[in-house]
Amino acid sequence: MTASISDQLLTWYDQHARDLPWRLAPGAALPEDPAWPYRVWLSEVMLQQTTVAAVKPYFAKFTETWPTVEALAAAPEDAIMAAWAGLGYYSRARNLVKCAKAVAERGGFPSTEAELRALPGLGDYTAAAIAAIAFGERAVVVDANVERVVARLFAIAEPLPGARKAIRAAADTITPQQRAGDFAQAMMDLGAQICTSRAPRCLICPLSGPCAGRKAGEPERLPVKPAKKAVPERRGTAFWITRGSEVWLVTRPGTGMLGGMRALPDDGWSAREDGSGEVPLAGEWRELGAVRHGFTHASLTLRVIALETADAPEGEGQWWPVERIAEAGLATLFLKAAQLALASD
C-alpha cells in the first residue's frame, strides 16, 4: 500500500504538476546553483498562510532585487519590509531578515532537516519542505493541504489539533525515499487542486482507490476542525498629518502587530485593546471616515482623522511626499487609511 500510494501520486504529479516560478519540472535533477535553496526557502516562507496567486509577484520582485541570500542579507531592513508590504503576516518578513543574515554568515543553507530547523523563523514544516525540495532529503512535509489529504486518506477522525500527531505518523508511512521533493509538492498540489476543503473532486483523484475517507462516504468532513472562536472587535485611530505636499510617517516597533513596517501614526490600538483616541498634536482635526481590517486575532475599525500643520509630532518619523505614498511600503491597513485620506482631499 505504501509504495502504491507514492507511485500513484508521483505518476499523477508528472502529468499535472503546477508550473510555478520556484519549482523544477517533475523528475528534474537538483541544480548545483547555490541560489536554488534560496529560492525554495523564500517561496516557502512567502507561501505560509498566503495563496500562490498573491505570492507570485512578490517572489518575482524579491528574486529580481535580491537574487541570492547574500544579497538579501546585505539589504537595508526597511527596504525588505517595504518590499513585503501587502503580503501580510509581517513577522515572516522580520524572520526572513534574521534567517538571511544567519545563512549568509554560515556560508549557505544547511542541507539537513535538523540543521534547517535551527535557523531563525524555520519551523518543522518549512525545514522539512526545504530539506526535501531543495536537497532531496527524505522528510515528512505536512502543511494544511497535506494535513487534509492524509486525514481523508487514512480517515483520521480525531479533531484537530490533537490529530496532528496521527496525521504526521500516517504521512511518514507513505513518504518515499526517492523523489522526496516531488512527493511533497505532489501532496500539496493534490490538496490545493483536487482534495479541496469543500467539494473534493474524488472522481478524478489519483488516490481515490485507497482513500478510507472516500469509502466512508463523507471525505469533506475530514479533518475535523474545532469550532472557531469569535475574534474580538477593536477600534483605533490613525492620524493623517500633512505639511503641504508631505505626510508624516513612522516605523512601527520591531515586535508586535505589523512590527517593523512603515505606517501612519496611530493611538496605540492592539489586538488586546482599543486605542486611546488621544491626538499627537493640537489643532483642528478633520474626520475622514474609517476603514476595516481583519487580523488573525482581531478585527479592527480604524478611524482616520487629518490635520494640516507646520510642526512634526514628537518621536521618530519622516515627512514623505504624498504623491509617492504608494512607494512608502505601508502595511495594507495603513494603505487603506491613506487611500481614504487621498479620496477625501
Q: Which residues are catalytic?
A: 44
Q: How far apart are CA 328 and CA 118, in angstroms?
A: 33
Whole-Å CA distances, 223 to 153, 158, 209, 296, 299: 10, 8, 19, 21, 26
- Half-sphere CA count of 235, side-chain side, radius 13 A: 6
Residue 143 · residue 186 · CB < 8 Å: no
Look at residues 298, 297, 315 and name the one whose alpha carbon lies nearest to residue 248. 315
Q: How far apart are CA 126 and CA 238, in angstroms?
A: 35
Q: List beta partners, residue 263.
A: 250
502529468: which residue's cell? 15
Q: How far apart are CA 78 and CA 88, in angstroms?
A: 15
What is the phi/psi pair of residue 319, to 5°?
Answer: -85, 130
